[in-house]
Amino acid sequence: MTLAVAGIVVLSGCDDNSASKPAPAVQDQSIDRKTVDEWVGQWNGPEGTYMKISKTGEGYRVTIKDLDKESEYLGVLDGKRIRFLRDDHQEFIHYGAGRDTGMKWLMEEPNCLIVKEGEGYCRKP
């Protein structure tokens, strides 16, 4: 037996014969869309701030009113989040509770949307 053939025989004996792991399940994006579509409407923050979400075809229009101005962004579904671009920075809106916002005014609220720590909006369930 030549050295090359012996190497192939040795390597073929190293196969892992255990059952292979199944491929990860493909997540049903329609479930995520249904969940995120329930966010449509106005969510209120402290001191008159708010976030409004509306459907626009396959995406979302996100209107955010802070203490200084009202701004509008176009968002897209990204798992169970809405992704949008604000001031050249990618932001995500996700669901959580008031305690997840890091804002003392919202601590007791159970139904909130959070952009980042210190920026959250809630509404009654």
101 close to 89: Cβ distance less than 8 angstroms: no
Report whether pLDDT(5) > 80.
Answer: no
pLDDT band of residue 29 (cuts 50, 70, 90) is low
CA distance 10 to 109: 64
- pLDDT (tens digit, 9 = 90+) per residue, 50-107? 999 999 998 999 999 999 999 999 999 999 999 999 999 999 999 999 999 999 999 9
**What is the model's pLDDT at position 32?**
81
pLDDT band of residue 45 (cuts 50, 70, 90) is very high
Any idea what the Cα angle at residue 40 is, between residues 67 and 81, rounded to 5°? Answer: 85
Query: What domains are defined for the chain?
Result: 30-122 (2.40.128)
pLDDT band of residue 16 (cuts 50, 70, 90) is very low
DSSP characters over the chain: --HHHHHHHHHHTT---SPPPPPPPPP-HHHHHHHHHTT-EEEE-GGG-EEEEEEETTEEEEEEE-SS-EEEEEEEEETTEEEEEETTEEEEEEEE-GGGGT-GGGTT-SSEEEEETTEEEE---
- pLDDT (tens digit, 9 = 90+) per residue, 105-122? 999 999 999 999 999 999
